Amino acid sequence: MVSSTPLIELENIRRCYGGHDGAPEVAVLRGVSLSIAAGEFVAIVGASGSGKSTLMHLLGCLDRPTSGTYRFAGRDVAEFDADQLAWLRREAFGFVFQGYHLIATESARENVEIPALYAGTPAEQRRERASALLARLGLGERLDHRPGQLSGGQQQRVSIARALMNGGRIILADEPTGALDSHSGQEVMALLRELAAAGHTVILITHDRDVAAQAQRVIEIRDGEIISDSGAQPSAQALPAPDMAAAGQGSSLPWWKTFDEVARSAWRVMWLNRFRTALTLLGIIIGVASVIVMLAIGLGTKQKVMAQMASMGATTLYLYSAQPPEGGPWGVLSEADMLAVAKLPEVDLATPVIGNQRTVQYGNVSRDIYVYASNEQLPGIHHWPLAQGRFFNAAEDESLAPVVVLGHKARKQFFRDEPNPLGRQLLIGDAPFEVIGVMAEKGKESGADYYDEMVFIPYQAGRARVYQDILEPEYATLTAMSTSQVNAAGEAVRELLLARHGREDFQVDNAAAKVQAEADTQDSMTRMLGLIAAVSLLVGGIGVMNVMLMTVRERTREIGIRMATGARQRDILRQFLGEAVLVTLVGGSIGVLLGLLLGTGLLVAGVPLIFSLSAMLAAFACAVATGLLFGYLPAKTAAALDPVVALAAE
């Protein structure tokens, strides 16, 4: 059954090389016209260098002619775009090369599966068909062998199985027996004859006339021209040509269905080059780990500062007496000064404080501790609740009431065994004070745990009964009306006291601003370290790009093989992008682990640090994005390779 349109029709095909960059133009094919019908078994014979391989690359749509027309099943191939050509290679052709062109890192079965992978055949079906084909060619026992573990004859049979994977309507065999011993060569020829008898169109290229004689039709080529043709032999049965209406439509599997294939082959390549991969990953690992640790430290420190701020109040100012800059005696802050300061509109509270070491005694426990005399506003200023009892009030302060409130640790020191210290009498100096309350624990994390060791008495009672020698407040704790007025309050206090004292014999200490400044320093520190981490990621990304470019160069022939078996440009792009992302994913994971490890070490060493899940996810996402970004150029380079050039690479 011979159809009216020939399957393959070449008309005055020329293929020239050179002609640019000063190189003389060489015509390798010089006007080849040829027509081959479906089901024919054709041998193209000619001396080495006569242009046979060039012709085969053109027939198999791996290359385009310089001029002339190639019609496949009646359609002009020049009109086909890259995807449609890939479709033709996949659906119509099966290549068998002299050098087998198997992918060295993949097993026999995986090599055979490749054309079906690009045709979108489901994995299960692929595996079955590849196994069946290999079994039919006598390699049922060798499915999982790598090409390097097979003899030449066996490798050639694997490549024939691969050519048949998608049907192999047209088998293009370029010197298939050239590298084989005579016995294996005869086996391969027998296989090709069998395929021809089964209706496959077989185009066999050889320099050996005896081999060519086994075909039904022999075409002789010399210096790029056909010099003889034994003529078409009508074939009894022929496989139909592929449905040209579907050209280029072939569905590729969605990327997530080929992901395991891509990941598997990427993993294999990474593993083969594990030392190089590990070095490349170092940048990513360090980048991700440092992002995580830096952010954790930043967060931890910030938390600490916030706690300090909360315990101190974000509106607190301190007012001290001082020696004026121009010299002279130290200033004295009087209670009248306090009253005037408290009346300023920016200032909320002004609490005078006298505090010193005094001997405090209860029963047989006697200690020198800090006795803090101030007024009833202290719990409010320090945002400090009571654990037990109550704080003294304004009336008690005015009436010089001998009452005392204990800090958390002071309570433990004096009343270790007593469940309820309220109502007990403490001796401060030699004045008795009644315990009326216990403060809650201020805690280490607030950075003000020294407060826990103190006892607190009313200011007036303190002056009258404990600090008889101290006539005026030692310093004052002020609070501004609001956080936004802290600086204004400080300035107003300064101006007021300057007017009252006539010289700067005092000092306003803006505690809130200090904590804020510390927080800001910490923030900019975190930002800077984050920047270093980001730079490290960038360097890692460049490393990935470098190694991917190297990979593409090393595997150019593999890319050619994949293209010859029908890979689209986007399949190649996807593969190499997948590899880059996998590399960075592995690097990102190791980085996260390393970050956690380092952070835990620091935590144990006492550095305040808080891990954040979002920081970890962000670092991880950064790594993957780096892979995508820096893998894109190499992947694009790979996808843009010319199939013939790629195949010829060593």
Question: Minimum distance from CB of 649 to ligand ADP (Å)?
Answer: 11
Counting beta carbons within 10 angstroms of the beta carbon of residue 518, is it exposed (0 to 12), middle (13 to 18) or buried (19 or more)?
middle
- Token representation of residue 354: 């006298």
User: 48 to 107, contacts with ligand ADP by CB under 6 A?
Assistant: 48-54
Among ligand ADP, Mg ion, none, partner that 490 touches (CB below 5 to 8 angstroms by kind): none
In whole angstroms, what is the distance from residue 432 CA to residue 514 CA?
A: 39
Q: Which CB, 53 or 277, lies closer to Mg ion?
A: 53
Q: Which two tokens stand for residue 334?
A: 């009087």
Q: Cβ atoms within 10 A of the Cβ of 439, count?
A: 27
Identify which of residues 53 and 216 has a Cβ nearer to Mg ion in the complex.
Answer: 53
177 near ligand ADP, rule: CB under 6 A: no
From residue 556 to residue 585, the character string flagging contacts with ligand ADP as x (rule: CB under 6 A) and all else as - is ------------------------------
Using an 8 Å Cβ cutoff, are 170 and 7 in contact? yes
Radius of gyration over every alpha carbon of the chain, rounded to an integer in angstroms: 44
Kind of pairing between the strands at 347-362 and 425-428: antiparallel
* Whole-angstrom distance, CA of residue 481 vs CA of residue 313: 12
- Binding residues with Mg ion: total (CB under 5 A): 1
Nearer to Mg ion, 206 or 446 (CB): 206
Kindly tell me which of 15 and 129 has the beta carbon lying closer to Mg ion: 15
Question: Residue 53 or 479: which CB sits closer to Mg ion?
Answer: 53
List binders of Mg ion among 599-638 (CB under 5 A).
none
Selected range binding Mg ion among 53-61, 235-243, 332-340, 599-607, rule: CB under 5 A: 53-61
- Asked if 101 and 561 touch (Cβ cutoff 8 Å), the reply is yes
Q: For residues 6 and 51, which CB has a smaller minimum distance to ligand ADP in the complex?
A: 51
The site partner of 54 among ligand ADP, Mg ion, none (C-beta below 5 to 8 Å per kind) is ligand ADP
84 binds, among ligand ADP, Mg ion, none (CB under 5 to 8 A by kind): none
CB of 44 to ligand ADP, least distance (A): 9
* Residue (48 or 251) nearer to Mg ion, CB: 48
Q: How far is the CB of 552 from ligand ADP (least distance, A)?
A: 20
CB of 203 to Mg ion, least distance (A): 13
Signed CA dihedral, 265, 267, 271, 275: sign only: positive
Q: Are 253 and 266 in contact (CB under 8 A)?
A: no
From Mg ion, ligand ADP, none, which one binds at residue 28 (CB under 5 to 8 Å depending on kind)? Answer: ligand ADP
**Contact mark string toward Mg ion, 9..48, x via CB under 5 A:** ----------------------------------------
**Angstrom distance (rounded) from CA 156 to CA 159:** 5
Closer of 15 and 463 to ligand ADP (Cβ): 15
Q: How far apart are CA 119 and CA 187, in angstroms?
A: 29
Cα 650 from Cα 640, distance rounded (Å): 18
Beta carbon nearer to ligand ADP, 50 or 216? 50
- Mention every residue, 6+ apart, whose C-beta is less than 8 A from residue 542: 283, 630
Whole-number minimum distance, CB 190 to ligand ADP, in Å? 24
Pick between residue 46 and residue 595 the one whose CB is nearest to ligand ADP.
46
Task: Identify which of residues 53 and 107 has a Cβ nearer to Mg ion in the complex.
Answer: 53
**Min dist. Cβ of residue 223 to ligand ADP (A):** 9
Residue 245 CB, nearest distance to ligand ADP (Å)?
Answer: 33
Question: x/- string (CB under 6 A) for ligand ADP, residues 338-377?
Answer: ----------------------------------------
- Closer residue to ligand ADP (CB): 48 or 182: 48
Q: Which two tokens stand for residue 643?
A: 């199939």
Nearest to 493 by CA among 479, 508, 510: 508
**Of residues 209 and 444, the one with the C-beta less far from Mg ion:** 209
Alpha carbons 282 and 615: distance in angstroms, whole number: 20
Q: For ligand ADP, give the closer residue by CB, 29 or 285.
A: 29
For residues 621 and 533, the answer to whether their CB atoms sit within 8 Å is: no
Q: What is the dihedral of CA 184, 188, 193, 194, to 10 degrees?
A: 100
Q: x/- binding map, residues 133-152, to Mg ion, per CB under 5 A?
A: --------------------
Least spacing, CB of residue 90 vs ligand ADP, in Å: 24
When asked if residue 53 is in the footprint of Mg ion (CB under 5 A), the reply is: yes
Rule CB under 6 A: is residue 595 a binding residue for ligand ADP? no
With beta carbons less than 8 A apart as the criterion, state whether 40 and 233 touch.
yes
Torsion sign across C-alpha atoms 574, 580, 584, 586 = positive
CA triple 212-234-62, angle to 5 deg: 55
Q: Compose the 20-59 pattern: x for residues touching ligand ADP by CB under 6 A, - for all others.
A: --------x-----------------x-xxxxxxx-----
Residue pair 34/8 in contact (Cβ under 8 Å)? The answer is: yes
Using alpha carbons, select from 459, 410, 401 the residue that is nearest to residue 432.
401
DSSP-assigned beta bridge partners for residue 76: 71
Q: Which of residues 255-274 bind ligand ADP (CB under 6 A)?
A: none
> Please, what is the end-to-end C-alpha distance for the chain in angstroms?
43
**Footprint (CB under 6 A) of ligand ADP, residues 188-227:** none
- Cα distance between residue 533 and residue 284, in whole Å: 9
Residues 1-20 that bind ligand ADP (CB under 6 A): 17
Cα distance between residue 506 and residue 319, in whole Å: 7
Q: Per CB under 5 A, which of residues 455..484 are in contact with Mg ion? A: none
Which of Mg ion, ligand ADP, none interacts with 4 (beta carbon under 5 to 8 A by kind)?
none
Piece of the chain touching Mg ion by CB under 5 A; list 50-58, 110-118, 330-338, 474-482? 50-58
For ligand ADP (CB under 6 A), the number of binding residues is 10
What lies within 8 Å, CB to CB, of 292 at 6+ separation is: 591, 592, 595, 596, 599, 611, 615, 616, 619
CA separation for the pair 577, 266 (Å, rounded): 10
Q: How many CB atoms lie within 10 A of CB 377?
A: 18
- Select from ligand ADP, Mg ion, none the partner in contact with residue 51, using the beta carbon and a kind-dependent cut-off of 5 to 8 Å: ligand ADP
At residue 393, φ and ψ (nearest 5 deg) are: -110, 180
Nearer of residues 174 and 348 to ligand ADP, judged by Cβ: 174
| Partner whose footprint covers residue 168, from ligand ADP, Mg ion, none (CB < 5 to 8 Å by kind) | none
Question: Binds 46, which of ligand ADP, Mg ion, none (CB < 5 to 8 A, cut-off by type)?
Answer: ligand ADP
Residue nearest to Mg ion according to CB distances in the complex: 53
H helical segments located in 60-198: 82-91, 108-119, 123-136, 152-164, 182-197
Per-residue DSSP letter, 359: E
**Residues of the shown chain interacting with Mg ion in the complex, contacts defined by CB under 5 A:** 53
**Residues of the shown chain interacting with ligand ADP in the complex, contacts defined by CB under 6 A:** 17, 28, 46, 48-54
